[in-house]
Structure 1
Amino acid sequence: MTQGIESGGWTLTQWCRVQQDGQGRERLQALAATLADSDTAWIVRADAALIDSQWAELERQAESVGVKALPLYGVPFAIKDNIDAVGWKTTAACPAFAYTAEQDATVVSRLRAAGAILVGKTNLDQFATGLVGTRSPYGAVPNSFDPAYVSGGSSAGSASVVARGLVPFALGTDTAGSGRVPAGFNNIVGLKPTRGWLSIGGVVPACRTLDCVSVFALTVEDALAVTEIGGSAPDERDAYSRQHPHTAPVAMPERPRLAIPAALEFHGDDVMARAFDRARTQLARVAELVPIDYTPFAELAALLYQGPWVAERTHAVGPLLINDPDAIDPTVRGIIDKGLDYSALDTFDAEYRRAELSQRIARVFDDVDALVVPTSPTIRTIAEMAEQPVQYNSEFGTYTNFTNLADLCALALPAVMRDDGLPAGITLIAPAWHDRALADVGRRWQALCDLPLGATEQPLPVADKEVIPPPSSACVRLAVVGAHLRDMPLNFQLTTRRATFVEATHTAPDYRLYALANTTPPKPGLARVETNGTAIEVELWDIPLARFGEFVAEIPAPLGIGSLTLSDGRVVKGFVCEPWALPAAQDVTEYGGWRGFMTALKSAATGGEA
């Protein structure tokens, strides 16, 4: 068994663990040797010399900064061939358009700086125009479960090579659903980040105002990790890149409220309808499903291809369309040609309507944590797609096309298998910058479903089933001990700032708890002691980084925020008390925590009936 085959279905963590064993270069060479010329998922692959040169550069990086500073040390990845890599050709699946990139796309540069090794560029619907994976002169990319069916597009090749376990992650792009539909059709995770988080510098544009770089992975954990590594502050190469505000939640409630269209359309695909019904039943066990009117979402989705945003695609390939129109796939050309039909007045009319619909959509999210939809309402064979290329493509976008127009983020997830053995996925959608919160729910969902990874037979690793992930860099993990506990009077100061509950736990056995005098509502003081301490009950909450300062500003003396040591040795921020207030306070350590003390007070006040 070759090393390349042996590694099939490895996750990011598994690759990172083995690539430091002294055989990393040889392992990548073996992997590259298994990538077949006949595999239409690839447009170009790294040869032995290119693997060697990248590995040599990686070793220089490791000598300079150390292996620990390279979180993707030796990990192979692939990119869609509308994304630049220095010295590689970029074709956008159009040979007449091809050029050799003079520098890496910004996101590729960041991933390589983290130690990742590029092993190939993947096939796509030409100029990223399509959700099918068949509009390429390099061949149609077949579904990884049944080659008679489409893989979904436009990021067809990237989804395929991840689903088959050839690489642990790959980059795609997503303007209308290209980072989600192929994920749903191939039983993998597709993260379409908030627009502007991953720079599109060095990416061939489709609709530049809407384009996103997307991430395919076998697990939610891996997709989010790659996005956080690849994300950047505003990039001078991308005028639409933007700084993460760190105001959004990084997790969701234990039982989130999920909006779901009151009426669902499956375009006659009863097999997909039954599959989604099973997924919906499973969702209802772990989330509250809130039926909504899907009309504004559907109307906004229609604007993408039935409005002037098509002219952005025309703008992107204008010279080729004028000088060599026959070089463009006929179906793609038919779509791009329509951009010439719109006037500036049409554009402003559509933009005004987009803003109105986006405002209506934003109000939906005032009352729910996310929207859940089928990733695609149907799937088609490659033969069927040839008969109705535009209509069936449009059907695939039923639940995807509105997302970037409304400035939302999305996470496509494996869900169930259809009766015919094909995958059926769901997608979670939320406001901009809620990516980490979607990933929190996505992790739990993937652990609950516990499907094999992609089209491999590999199980979801135990580590990805853990309920409590480490804290995100976008939040402060805070230990609360008194009036901010759940169901206590000041808990709203956390929840109104989008803080999310993590777990109930205890401090190290070095603390004593006091009921402070003359406080409204009653508040405790927590003090660390050298002797006679005990473990005190606390709750951990993740509060968005940018909201932490305003939360601290509301804390009255003698309380403050310091560093607390937990029973398992973790150190987190938490409430502490100035020593001057303790002599007048009541020592309530014996109750084990503030909730126990308040219960005892209530019991005493009611004659023992708590």
Structure 2
Amino acid sequence: MTLPRILTLESLRTLYAAGTLTPLDVAEAVADRMEAWADPAVFITAVPRSDLAAAARALMERHPQPNSLPLWGVPFAVKDNIDVAGLPTTAACPAFAYRPDADAHVVARLKAAGALVTGKTNLDQFATGLNGTRSPYGAPRSVYSPEHISGGSSSGSAVAVAAGLAAFALGTDTAGSGRVPAAFNNLVGIKPTPGLLGTSGLVPACRSLDCISVFSACVADGLAVRRIAEGVDPADAFSRTIPPVALPRAPRFGVLTGAEREFFGDTETERLYEAAVERFASLGATPVPFDYAPLREIAALLYGGPWVAERLAAVEDFFAANADAFDPSVRAIVESAKGFSAVDAFRGRYRFEALKRRAEAIFADVDLLLLPSAPTTYTVAAMRDDPITLNSRLGLYTNFANLLGLAAIAVPAGFRADGLPAGVTLIGPGGSDDALGPFADALHRGAACGAGLDRAASFPAVAPPEPEGIPLAVVGAHLSGLPLNGQLRELGARLVGPARTAGDYRLYALPGTQPAKPGLLRDPNYEGPGLDIEVWTLAPAAFARFVAAIPAPLGIGRVTLADGRAVSGFLCEAYAVAGAEEITGYGGWRAYLARAGG
């Protein structure tokens, strides 16, 4: 049995459930594809075939039941400014390279869910660029044209997914690096609300704005991966719990008009944007023309204002001693930071706040925006001839999003007459990450352009949000992929997403429980970082049936979350933890199982 051309979570889970393939088979097949792929610039460091096979074997030994973890045996690639233990992190600068001992926070969460790292992917050096040509390791090309750019800075990550070398990949997105490459490779790009995914283990570009992003074949996969990767990161001061924001079933969406509608002469990409607007309107959404000018001015602040100084702050000591090791375009951008003073920083902040007020007025009239992911594309040769001007054009409709704390999902919009793909992006308020999903999925599905290299690829739909039920904080064996999770799913429970408890909770491994279960206790005299949990919702009748079946010493009480909300959740009677092993330090039940080999 051969692998599908484009890998999805559903296709892999189906093959695993049927016993047709094992993670070892997939590891070997992916290694074959990586060796055969014609573009050597995609990976900076590929995991050796023997190591990838060993990781698959180890997973099967620890978790022999197919699909027993949410990402059991799913291969993924990691942008090479994100740490993977044992593999070098270069940020596309050989002189900067180091070999981390620990995984980045998001990588650790994905590995714990059963995913297998295939390699570290190429990028615009220090994640500074939107085109993919600013790397000494070469310039990855669009999977649809060896002459055209892949988009950046997450160039290799996008190509890896589009070429079927990984089921998903991690990128980063500060100015559009998780959206532009998605457009140029017929993929979905998930750009979370800033702070939703922890960034410890990430080489920062602009630390206050950086987002770790997800490339996938379809919206359903990207959302699933994002939900597993997210969670408060104690080592990231910008990480936070972000309450979900709902969107109307028939939203008003902002569209470009007039002089602010700029495609730099690319009538084909403009045609595909117009088609996406019509497609969204046919689904019941209402297009609303809006003035893009304040967003364009905010976008200009990211590279033309004092925020560029944050790029120097990220590498200041290294840059002082190794300026010649930088790509010329990247060096010019980083050096430009020296021209800004503290006074300029405050003036920039004042200007931003004024523009932000105008942006808020836009969102008073619309629920979300529908914009081109990039207004056009370029050949590698053209980009190298004019690297600054053309790169700035690519970020025309992306650079503002993180400064405003917004969520975004980029999706394919179809193909130009010359056979190159283009994309559009839905942008919504911070916290609308899940709410954007059904709309983005409908737009992608309506474009009928498949995913990556497979223009006929099919994938599961993203269901509209269900009516709200009773929230339930799940601590242990009922977590996604663990032995008792089926009890929730049988009752029609819906996963809201990962969450974290307040800091005054302790966790214990209850002895003699089958399957193994933890006990959660609140201790007013204890102060820690909180514990990773999940919040599900159940309809009232289903909630009552579920609670009635819970055996002692567990029960349902009120659990306070890190964001201050109090929801129903699993708690344990105090007598049951006498003599039990305290596992609070692991940060949650799933992390305890992973480190204990369970």
Q: TM-score, normalised by structure 2?
A: 0.76
Write out aligned runs for 1:408-419 (5 A): 408-419=406-417
Residue equivalent to 1:504 = none
Rate the CA distance shift 1:68–1:400 in 2: closer, same or farther, 3 A.
same
Residue equivalent to 2:311 = 313
Q: Report the more deviating stretch, 449-458 or 376-385.
A: 449-458
Residue equivalent to 1:139 = 138
2:43 maps to amino acid: W
Q: Deviations over 1:307-358 (max 9, x none)?
A: 1111111111222221121111111101110011111111111112222222
Give 3-state SS (helix, strand or coil) of 2:540's partner: strand
Is 1:563 matched up with 2:540?
yes
Give 3-state SS (helix, strand or coil) of 1:410's partner: strand
Is 1:450 matched up with 2:448?
yes
In the aligned structure 2, how far is the partner of 1:33 from the partner of 1:72?
21
Q: Deviations over 1:77-107 (max 9, x none)?
A: 0010000000010000010000001100000
Residue equivalent to 2:293 = 295
Rate the CA distance shift 1:571–1:416 in 2: closer, same or farther, 3 A.
farther
What's the offset of the Cα at 1:184? 0.8
2:8 maps to amino acid: T
Is 1:259 matched up with 2:259?
no
Rate the CA distance shift 1:545–1:206 in 2: closer, same or farther, 3 A.
closer
What's the offset of the Cα at 1:76? 0.2
In the aligned structure 2, how far is the partner of 1:441 from the partner of 1:401?
22
In the aligned structure 1, how far is the partner of 2:63 from the partner of 2:97?
34
In the aligned structure 2, how far is the partner of 1:242 from the partner of 1:93?
29
2:458 aligned residue (445, 457, 460): 460
What's the offset of the Cα at 1:444? 1.6
In the aligned structure 2, how far is the partner of 1:268 from the partner of 1:446?
24
Rate the CA distance shift 1:61–1:231 in 2: closer, same or farther, 3 A.
farther
In the aligned structure 1, how far is the partner of 2:271 from the partner of 2:318?
44
In the aligned structure 2, how far is the partner of 1:155 from the partner of 1:543?
29
> Contact (CA 8 Å) 2:302, 2:399: kept in 1 or not?
yes
In the aligned structure 2, how far is the partner of 1:209 from the partner of 1:117?
29
> Whose radius of gyration is greater, 1 or 2?
1
What's the offset of the Cα at 1:386? 1.0
Write out aligned runs for 1:8-407 (5 A): 8-19=5-16, 21=19, 23-36=22-35, 39-62=40-63, 69-233=68-232, 235-246=233-244, 248-249=245-246, 252-253=248-249, 255-263=250-258, 264-286=261-283, 287-407=285-405
> Contact (CA 8 Å) 1:450, 1:460: kept in 2 or not?
no
Residue equivalent to 1:476 = 469
Q: TM-score, normalised by structure 1?
A: 0.74
Report the count of equivalent residues.
Answer: 480
> Contact (CA 8 Å) 2:469, 2:540: kept in 1 or not?
no
Q: Deviations over 1:553-592 (max 9, x none)?
A: xxxxxxxx973479xxx999xxxxxxxxxxxxxxxxxxxx
Q: Deviations over 1:464-485 (max 9, x none)?
A: 2x6x35759xx5389xxxxxxx
Give 3-state SS (helix, strand or coil) of 2:469's partner: strand
Give 3-state SS (helix, strand or coil) of 1:379's partner: coil
Give 3-state SS (helix, strand or coil) of 2:365's partner: coil
Rate the CA distance shift 1:283–1:23 in 2: closer, same or farther, 3 A.
closer
Give 3-state SS (helix, strand or coil) of 1:426's partner: strand
Q: Report the more deviating stretch, 360-369 or 41-50.
A: 360-369
Give 3-state SS (helix, strand or coil) of 1:214's partner: strand
Give 3-state SS (helix, strand or coil) of 2:82's partner: coil
Residue equivalent to 2:474 = none
> Contact (CA 8 Å) 2:186, 2:421: kept in 1 or not?
yes
In the aligned structure 1, how far is the partner of 2:120 from the partner of 2:361?
40
1:184 maps to amino acid: A
2:308 maps to amino acid: V
In the aligned structure 2, how far is the partner of 1:256 from the partner of 1:231?
26
Q: Deviations over 1:204-252 (max 9, x none)?
A: 000000000000000000000000000012x121100001223x11x54
In the aligned structure 2, how far is the partner of 1:562 from the partner of 1:440?
21
In the aligned structure 1, how far is the partner of 2:419 from the partner of 2:238?
41
In the aligned structure 1, how far is the partner of 2:148 from the partner of 2:227?
33
In the aligned structure 1, how far is the partner of 2:61 from the partner of 2:236?
29
Q: Report the more deviating stretch, 151-160 or 17-26.
A: 17-26
What's the offset of the Cα at 1:113? 0.4
1:46 maps to amino acid: V
Rate the CA distance shift 1:133–1:541 in 2: closer, same or farther, 3 A.
closer
Q: Report the more deviating stretch, 73-82 or 274-283.
A: 274-283
1:47 maps to amino acid: P
In the aligned structure 2, how far is the partner of 1:368 from the partner of 1:544?
26
Give 3-state SS (helix, strand or coil) of 1:131's partner: coil
In the aligned structure 1, how far is the partner of 2:495 from the partner of 2:230?
21
> Contact (CA 8 Å) 2:16, 2:67: kept in 1 or not?
no
What's the offset of the Cα at 1:542? 12
> Contact (CA 8 Å) 1:83, 1:204: kept in 2 or not?
yes
What's the offset of the Cα at 1:367? 2.6
Q: Report the more deviating stretch, 20-29 or 100-109.
A: 20-29
In the aligned structure 1, how far is the partner of 2:212 from the partner of 2:265?
32
Q: Report the more deviating stretch, 309-318 or 146-155.
A: 309-318
What's the offset of the Cα at 1:460? 1.8
Q: Report the more deviating stretch, 223-232 or 275-284.
A: 275-284
Give 3-state SS (helix, strand or coil) of 1:365's partner: helix
Q: Deviations over 1:239-280 (max 9, x none)?
A: 00001223x11x541x32101122301122223223322333
Rate the CA distance shift 1:477–1:17 in 2: closer, same or farther, 3 A.
farther
Q: Deviations over 1:477-513 (max 9, x none)?
A: 89xxxxxxxxxxxxxxxxxxxxxxxxxxxxxxxxxxx
Write out aligned runs for 1:570-585 (5 A): none
> Contact (CA 8 Å) 2:228, 2:498: kept in 1 or not?
no
Residue equivalent to 1:556 = none
What's the offset of the Cα at 1:67? 5.6
Q: Report the more deviating stretch, 123-132 or 446-455.
A: 446-455
> Contact (CA 8 Å) 1:477, 1:542: kept in 2 or not?
no
Q: Report the more deviating stretch, 142-151 or 444-453.
A: 444-453
In the aligned structure 2, how far is the partner of 1:421 from the partner of 1:215?
25
Rate the CA distance shift 1:26–1:544 in 2: closer, same or farther, 3 A.
closer
Give 3-state SS (helix, strand or coil) of 1:19's partner: helix
> Contact (CA 8 Å) 1:269, 1:377: kept in 2 or not?
yes
Rate the CA distance shift 1:58–1:361 in 2: closer, same or farther, 3 A.
same
Give 3-state SS (helix, strand or coil) of 1:258's partner: strand
Rate the CA distance shift 1:175–1:544 in 2: closer, same or farther, 3 A.
closer
What's the offset of the Cα at 1:33? 2.6
Residue equivalent to 1:433 = 431
